[in-house]
C-alpha cells in the first residue's frame, strides 16, 4: 500500500477547546493541558520554545503555528532564514553551580518539514543565528517572561562557517572571564548544562582566532569547545531593536564582520 500522507496544516488554537470522548465534552480544556505541560519556562525544553517565540514576536512572525524539526526556526517576511539558540545559567533542577552558557552550532543534515526530505550534506541552513541566553543569575527572581533578563547575540551564518567550520558547540564567556575549553554543570546532554568536549578545531586558520588558540590550551583540549561567542563579535541588540539587527546582519555580504 503506497499512500501519500501530506503534511497537516495546523490551525492556531485558543485554549478553550475541550477534551472529549467522541464529541462528548470532558471537563478538561486545552488550556488546562498547556498549564500542566508548559508552566516550567526555566526548563530546557520549554525555554527553547519560549526563546523562539520571543525572537519570532520581535520579527512579527508568530501568526502561524510553530513548525517542529524544520531546517531553521523562523523565516522573516523578507525571506531571511533565522536559527534561534538558547541557554541559561539557572536550571529548574537542583544545581551546585551555575550552568555554562553553551550553544549548539553543529552543521546538520536539515529536514524539510513540508517536503519530508533531508539534505544529503551537513550544513547550517539558516542565514543568521540569534543566540538567546537567559542571563539572569538570581534564582529567586528569575522570570523568563521578562525580556530584560535575556541577552540577544546576532551573528551571520557566514561568520560561523568561516571561523567555526565543523565546530559543534560554542560557549558564551562572561565579560572578563578567561576562555576555557571545558564545562562544569549538573545535567549531561542538556543545552546550557555540561556536556562532553565534542567540537573540532578543523583548520589551522580557525585555531588562530582570538580565544581559540590551541597554543594556549592544555594538551587534550584541542578538540574542545570553541573560544567564546564574543570573540566572533556578534551584534548585541536590545529586544526592541532585535528585528532591525537580524535584518541588517542577515543581509550583510559574506566576509564582512
Tens digit of pLDDT for each residue in 145-182?
999 999 999 999 999 999 999 999 999 875 555 433 33
Note the pLDDT tens digit of each residue in 217-232. 333 233 334 568 988 9
Q: By the 8 A CB rule, do 103 and 84 touch?
A: no
pTM, entire model: 0.78
Q: CA of 170: how far to CAs of 65, 90, 151, 159, in Å?
A: 29, 18, 16, 13
Nearest to 70 by CA among 2, 118, 24, 104: 118
Q: DSSP secondary structure string, 34-53? A: HHHHH--TTSHHHHHHHHHH
Note the pLDDT tens digit of each residue in 114-128. 666 777 789 999 999
Range of lowest pLDDT (53-67, 85-99, 162-176, 233-247)? 162-176
Residue spans of the domains in the chain: they are 41-250
Amino acid at each position: 500500500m503506497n499512500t501519500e500522507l501530506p503534511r497537516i496544516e495546523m490551525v492556531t488554537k485558543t485554549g478553550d477547546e475541550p477534551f472529549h470522548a467522541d464529541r462528548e465534552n470532558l471537563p478538561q480544556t486545552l488550556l488546562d493541558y498547556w498549564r500542566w505541560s508548559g508552566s516550567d519556562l526555566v526548563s530546557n525544553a520549554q525555554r527553547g520554545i519560549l526563546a523562539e517565540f520571543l525572537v519570532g514576536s520581535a520579527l512579527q512572525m508568530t501568526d502561524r503555528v510553530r513548525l517542529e524539526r524544520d531546517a531553521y526556526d523562523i523565516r522573516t517576511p523578507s525571506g531571511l532564514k533565522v536559527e534561534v539558540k538558547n541557554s541559561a545559567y539557572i536550571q529548574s533542577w537542583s544545581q551546585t553551580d551555575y550552568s555554562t552558557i553553551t550553544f549548539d552550532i553543529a552543521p546538520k543534515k536539515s529536514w524539510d518539514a513540508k517536503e519530508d526530505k533531508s539534505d544529503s550534506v551537513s550544513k547550517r541552513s539558516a542565514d543568521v543565528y540569534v543566540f538567546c541566553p537567559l542571563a539572569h543569575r538570581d534564582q529567586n527572581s528569575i522570570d523568563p517572561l521578562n525580556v530584560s533578563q535575556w541577552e540577544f547575540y546576532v551573528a551571520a551564518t557566514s561568520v560561523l562557517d568561516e571561523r567555526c567550520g565543523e565546530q559543534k558547540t560554542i560557549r558564551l564567556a562572561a565579560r572578563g572571564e578567561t576562555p576555557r575549553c571545558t564545562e562544569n554543570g549538573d545535567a549531561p546532554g542538556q543545552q546550557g548544562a555540561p556536556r562532553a568536549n565534542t567540537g573540532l578545531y578543523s583548520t589551522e586558520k580557525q585555531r588562530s582566532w582570538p580565544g581559540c588558540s590551541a597554543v594556549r590550551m592544555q594538551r587534550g583540549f584541542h578538540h574542545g569547545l570553541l573560544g567564546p561567542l564574543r570573540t566572533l563579535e556578534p551584534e548585541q541588540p536590545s529586544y526592541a531593536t532585535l528585528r532591525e539587527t537580524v535584518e541588517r546582519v542577515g543581509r550583510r555580504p559574506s566576509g564582512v564582520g
